[in-house]
Structure 1
Amino acid sequence: MERESMEFDVVVVGAGPCGLASAIRLKQLNDELNVCVVEKGAEVGAHILSGAVFEPRALDELMPDWRDKGAPLTTEVTGDDIYLLKADSARQLPGALVPKTMHNQGNYIISVGNLCRWLAEQAEAVGVEIYPGFAAAELIIEDEVVKGILTGDMGVGADGQPKDSYMPGMELRARYTLLSEGCRGHLGKQVIARYHLDADADPQHYGIGFKEIWRVPAEQHQPGKVVHTAGWPLDGEGSGGGYLYHADNNEVWVGLIIDLNYTNPHLSPFEEFQRYKTHPVIAQYLQGGERTSYGARAITKGGLNALPKQHFPGGLLLGCDAGTLNFSKIKGTHTAMKSGMLAADTVAAALDSGDQGGGDLAGYATRFEASWLYEELYAARNFGPALHKYGALMGGAFNYLDQNWFGGKLPLTLHDTKVDHLGMESVAQARIIDYPKPDGKLSFDRLSSVYLSNTFHEEDQPCHLKLTDDSIPIRVNLAQFDEPAQRYCPAGVYEVVEEQGQTRFVINGQNCIHCKTCDIKDPSQNITWVVPEGGSGPNYPNM
């Protein structure tokens, strides 16, 4: 069957905060532009997962009347508690000793998924075309210029053959293509490699972030309260931090972020998160409550030092696809939105000047470097490297000095040049970690957790988790590292099983919640995540 083709001025890949902000801004600047947003989730917001405490700075710029338009920002932060945890104790840090970037006055506890649903309504109201359930599977590249995208074919069987329901994907051609897929975007990864966008940057760094939504007894609920923690359970084998946010409607949102540079192959990020909830500081808010949602997502957290060049022939790489998250604030939504708005300014100016598309939008770099986004990321450039180099205590002291005394302008720049997937210890060297069994009250198993993510994939479709070499999981990863995919995956996708005397590596692709951790953390870099059929994956209601 022949592919249909549609022409647009701009195609935006990904209906997250960045992509939707860019689309709205484009229409604000030039109502005549034909703008299309494609989203692989079944609906806008279905694949969005974030803590989240939201700084409204970019939204104020994009839509100053957001309050009148009913934006879902209803729970203003009322207070910050920051704890340094040990296994059997906790110490609350006084506000004066906390880096000022972690104070949240004027910010809101929000569901970013619901923010995206609202932004999509605003985008459609100004004429943006949004197509949920369509995965951007491939780039259209002609003469080394990106000319748009191909959406994925529908109705292809696991054997690669068309089924009766087969429908070929569409060509969505554009004068410019904006990639805003979120962390470790499938197409973003390709353009970085093809155009060597990271040639002058530090290696990118990642974490895996977990989140659960709990409905708790009213007497345990304090709307607007923000809790952040460092230390236990990540005080020996890994680094990261936890959070607990009191949203509205007697909901508490709890999560743990684990840096993906850990070296012990026995470490299980999922199990660490389950342990985290049992600490008395966290458990006091969850006991007697009901867990209603679960999810996990990789986070791009290398900051300014790891930011690749964001312009390439025919398009721009934006938001978390590039890595604009401000790790010193643990916030990436407002920075992603600003990235998208700067992209819109750049594209609109180019097209208004008579540009027919396909050029290298180097003007984006000039706008970026003149913006508060660059200023904010520059001030935070040392935050992550300090923690990785010096640990939570000394790194935290450095960051307090840098942020509170010097405003992020210390006359030195720290670099973290170790790639996250490298340096994993062999199982013979590593300490075995004995995780407790889930109690079904505060801690749970993977499969019951995945159930709460509303994940669905049509089983008769090609596996979207591709192995470069089928032999590596058993021959290399199992032998050296006890195949860590069994543990780093938060959804039970990967298993090592014994069948008829043979050891096999099994991929349960239908469990995948699209977190991208395997694409990042596999020590052999043997797993590539590609898009499944559009509409597949999790369907997060309020994440």
Structure 2
Amino acid sequence: MTPEEIIQQYGPREAMEYDVVIVGAGPAGLSAAIRLKQLAAEKGQDVSVVVLEKGSEPGAHILSGAVMDPKALTELIPDWKDKGAPLNQPVTDDAYVFLNETGGTRVPNFMLPPFAHNHGNYIVSLGNVVRWLAQQAEALGVEIFPGFPAAEVLYNEDGAVKGVATGNMGIGKDGNPTENFQLGMELHGKYTIFSEGSRGHLGKQLIARYKLDADSDPQSYAIGIKELWEIDPSRHTPGFVMHTAGWPMDEHTYGGAFLYHAEDNKVYCGYVVGLNYKNPYLSPFEEFQRWKTNPRVKWYFTDDNGNVNAKRLSYGARAITAGGILALPKTVFPGGALVGCDAGYLNVSRIKGSHAAIKTGMLAAEAAYDAVVAGRQHDELTAYPEAFEDSWLAAELNKDRNFKNWFKKGLSVGTVMNGFEQYVLRGHAPWTLHRKDPDYSQLKPAAQCAPIAYPKPDGKLTFDRLSSVFISNTNHEENQPSHLTLKDPTVPVRINLPEYAGPESRYCPAGVYEFVADETSGSGAQRLQINAQNCVHCKTCDIKDPTQNIVWVTPEGGGGPNYSGM
């Protein structure tokens, strides 16, 4: 049955009315909810607010480095320390290291540009920060519905957004309702704020429908892959932050890594690869595993004899919206707004987005609150982008607007020119570098590229995908339609495999896509097998597929990773 047929047979859906509906319980969405309730309390107004979260709980799907700038949090909740916010480990030292195959060279701290200094910031589990924000929101009267993904945008007859609908539960693989079927519900709002994170499923649709990106550069993305480790106390320096560039990436592939020393002998390590990479044989997951074998990195995980004496605790991956202010779409449309990484406010030079998410959530909330109490609904919240333009966040993003685009010219040129803009020009460059092509169009045919031979994992320091997905606590109800859909099922074997050597099997960090023998053909042909149960919701496939044939849609509520401590 089609979704329309299901509604005709089992509907109509129950509808709930709110002043503001928020999609996504991440830092942006929860900050918007908190700010709405704060304003209502300050001015004696009653504003109803609901937050939908596709994860099993707030924070379950949250993945970030993360070094957090507390500036926006302090604006939102000035007494966050007294209220127990989990910002426990201040940064004590920064290190930038340029790696080569046998080691690397650390840049003296006095030569680091301003954006590379983390004094006053904190090493955090952003998932734990989000869990704490959810507690603050609920204490103010915000309703949070975890395990309820917003699957559909609802529109008024005039084309304005009037809310969202949650996905149906209990649909079998054949598309028909099972004995556990439960019809989705509609949530109507005077305004709907979308805070789904990078490459939001509904945000993507809204950008296309309202042509919000007509005047901006194509958005740029990266994939971030992360592990949480417990290491030997003798190798641990609380508050130490290390970033690396160079090996194992080549000169013309954007990428870098981090190693953050949190409290309790824990370290967060991860690797970021720009999704504009050209070689279809590149595997971001395996580049990350290879990075850990560099002597400057491996030391943290081994004893004096070179034996691994650390324990890997968790794993995850997530796309990063990295185009900056030049790729920022219009963020308002009739009836709603985009905030946080759903729009793309991350400052890629600082490798920080949580402060931007919190700030934009607050700005959108303030605009929505004023509109609601003035009796308006379903119009454009123009006060939100106007407030952003006058904010410290806009100034910060504009200062670093050229950062990633310089690296299109290679690591050496990018390093020199970003240093020149920051040191000599103090962020006031008289030029702006634009990009014209989306990431998926950058992939070259396999015939023009050299295959990459990756070493086998040792199971101690380096690992395979399946053992990694296992410790992400990823789970999906097996008897449901795949949430990884193909516009044309023939494209992977007909185009992607012969022309690009099947890049799906490499850019996915969770082993979702495999080319296997097609036993029904009898001719040695292959077919694409989609292991949707492995999906960690990173959205890389939706972004990087060279034919744009893969479309990520919401699975049944609560499915996906359940990150702990990430």
TM-score (norm 1): 0.99
Whole-Å Cα distance in 2 between the matches of residues 16 and 512 of structure 1? 19
2:73 corresponds in structure 1 to 59
| Cα distance per residue 1:12-70 (max 9 Å; x no partner) | 00000000000000001114100000000001100000000000000010000000000
Tell whether the 8 Å contact from 1:427 to 1:480 is kept in structure 2 after alignment: yes
Matched, 1:133 2:147: yes
User: Which piece of structure 1 moves more, 11-20 or 412-421?
Assistant: 412-421
1:109-120 superposed matches below 5 A = 109-120=123-134
Partner of 1:375: 395
Three-state SS of the structure 2 residue aligned to 1:84 is: strand
Q: Which of 430, 447, 460 is the aligned partner of 2:466? A: 447
Aligned to 2:35: 25
1:127 and 1:405 map into 2 onto residues whose CA distance is 50
**Structural mapping, 1:264-283, within 5 Å:** 264-283=279-298
Q: Which residue of 2 aligns with 1:488?
A: 507
CA distance in 2, matches of 1:217, 1:151: 46
Q: Distance in 2 between matches of 1:507 and 1:172?
A: 32
Is the Cα–Cα contact under 8 Å of residues 19 and 340 in structure 1 kept in the other structure?
yes
Aligned to 2:554: 531
Q: Distance in 2 between matches of 1:341 and 1:63?
A: 11
The corresponding residue for 1:9 is: 19
Q: Structure 2: state its 5+ residue gaps.
A: 1-9, 303-308
The letter of the residue matching 2:19 is: D
In the alignment, structure 1 residue 508 sits paired with structure 2 residue 531: yes
Alignment of 1:32-71 (within 5 A): 32-71=46-85
Aligned residue for 1:58, secondary structure, equals: helix
In structure 2, how many angstroms separate the alpha carbons of the residues matched to 1:137 and 1:526? 19
Tell me the equivalent position of 2:273. 258
Which range is displaced more, 293-302 or 411-420? Answer: 411-420
CA contact (8 A) 1:85 1:230 kept: yes
Residue 301 of structure 1: how far off its partner (Å): 0.2
Distance 2:359 2:328 in 1: 15
**Whole-Å separation in 2 of the counterparts to 1:170 and 1:286:** 48
> What SS does structure 2 have at the residue aligned with 1:350?
helix
Corresponding residue of 1:339:
360
Question: Number of matched residues?
Answer: 541
2:384 is aligned with 1:384: no
Contact residue 457 and residue 463 of structure 2 kept, 8 A: yes
Cα offset, 1:418, TM superposition: 2.2
Distance, in Å, in 1 between the alignment partners of 2:110 and 2:90 is: 21
Partner of 1:191: 206
Aligned amino acid, residue 516 of structure 1 = K
Q: Percent of aligned pairs with the same residue? A: 56
Shift of the alpha carbon at 1:96? 2.7
Cα displacement (A) at 1:428: 1.3
Match of 2:380 in 1: 360
Q: Report the Cα offset of residue 236 of structure 1.
A: 4.4
State whether residues 213 and 293 of structure 1, in contact with CA within 8 Å, keep that contact through their aligned partners in structure 2.
yes
Q: Per the alignment, in what secondary structure is the counterpart of residue 448 of structure 2?
A: coil
What is residue 492 of structure 2 aligned with on the other side?
Answer: 473
What pairs up with 1:169-318 in 2 under 5 angstroms?
169-236=184-251, 238-287=253-302, 288-318=309-339
- 1:179-203: CA deviations, max 9, x gaps? 0000000000000000000000000
Is this contact kept in 1: 2:251–2:412, CA < 8 A?
no
On the 8 A contact 1:237/1:264 being kept in 2, the answer is: no
Cα distance, 1:354 vs structure 2: 2.2
Q: CA deviation at 1:237?
A: 6.1
The amino acid that maps onto 1:125 is A
The answer as to 2:545 corresponding to 1:522 is yes
SS where residue 165 of structure 2 aligns? strand
- Residue 489 of structure 1: how far off its partner (Å): 0.2
Asked if 1 retains the 8 angstrom alpha-carbon contact of 2:252 and 2:411, the reply is no
Aligned to 2:5: none
Cα distance in 2 between the residues matched to 1:477 and 1:26: 47
Counterpart residue identity of residue 330, structure 2: K
2:346 corresponds in structure 1 to 325
Which is worse superposed, 31-40 or 195-204? 31-40
The amino acid across from 1:523 in the alignment is P
Distance 2:518 2:217 in 1: 43
Query: Do the aligned partners of residues 247 and 51 (structure 1) sit closer, same or farther apart at CA in structure 2, a change above 3 Å counting?
Result: same
Q: Which runs of 5+ in 1 are unaligned?
A: none
Matched residues in 2 for 1:237 and 1:100: separation?
25
Q: Distance in 1 between matches of 2:253 and 2:459?
A: 25
Query: Is the 1:477–1:523 contact (alpha carbons within 8 Å) kept by the matching residues of 2?
Result: yes
Answer yes or no: is the 8 Å Cα contact 1:237–1:263 preserved in 2.
no
Secondary structure of 2:393's aligned partner:
helix
- 1:542 equivalent to 2:565? Answer yes
Instruction: Please provide the CA RMSD for this pair.
Output: 0.9
User: Alignment partner of 1:272: what SS?
Assistant: helix
- Residue 422 of structure 2: SS of its match in structure 1? helix
- Opposite residue 248 of structure 1, the aligned amino acid is E
Partners of 1:83 and 1:236 lie apart in 2 by: 15
Aligned to 2:94: 80
TM-score (norm 2): 0.95
State the one-letter code of the partner of 2:33.
A
Residues 237 and 267 of structure 1 are in contact (CA less than 8 Å); yes or no, is this contact kept in structure 2?
A: no
Instruction: Write the deviation string for residues 118-177 of structure 1: whole angstroms up to 9, x where unpaired.
Output: 000000001000010000000011221100000010000010000001000010110000
- Structure-2 separation of matches of 1:292 and 1:237: 33
Corresponding residue for 1:164? Answer: 179
CA–CA distance in structure 2, aligned partners of residues 23 and 286 of structure 1: 41
Q: CA deviation at 1:349?
A: 1.3
The 3-state SS of whatever aligns with 2:447 is coil
